[in-house]
Amino acid sequence: VFFQLFQLLFSIPFVFLRNTMNIANNPVGLDATVAWYGFGFILYAVFDLVFLTAFYKSGYKVGKSFIFAAIPMAFLMVAIEATAHIPALAWMDSYQPAYIRMQVLILIAGVICFTVFMVLAYQISVKRFTNVDM
């Protein structure tokens, strides 16, 4: 969890640097907007829930658990990046002040999702590890 949060926090200065340098928008997917950070929390939440609960079923085969968790994360990543190409959702890829409030709602939803999924992953993993450890 620490490295995931560090990765998100580490990227913030580069968002401001990019805006100061007037670099063109990302033609492929979402730019690093407030909504993008919310989606990042959701991606990490899904990965952690699947990975940790799968790994602590047996305590072995970390690679299998990683692949198992990477599959839904990859589908989510494609769906999130595709939102930049849907005209009705263009506000997610905008730095305009008028859209910040809607993007903050996605960020809040992402943080809540991350928190709930981490608590759930912890509870399930502890229960499974206790069973495996016996």
Higher model confidence: residue 16 or residue 103?
103
What kind and span of H or E run contains 13? Answer: helix 2-20
Q: Note the pLDDT of residue 21.
A: 82
Q: Note the pLDDT of residue 133.
A: 64
> What pLDDT, in 10s, does the model give residues 1-49?
889 999 999 989 988 888 788 777 777 778 889 999 999 999 999 999 9
Q: Note the pLDDT of residue 130.
A: 83
Q: Note the pLDDT of residue 49.
A: 97
* For the chain, domain boundaries: 2-133
Residues whose CB falls within 8 Å of the CB of residue 77, separated by 6 or more in sequence, listed in order = 43
Q: Please state the pTM of the whole predicted model.
A: 0.87
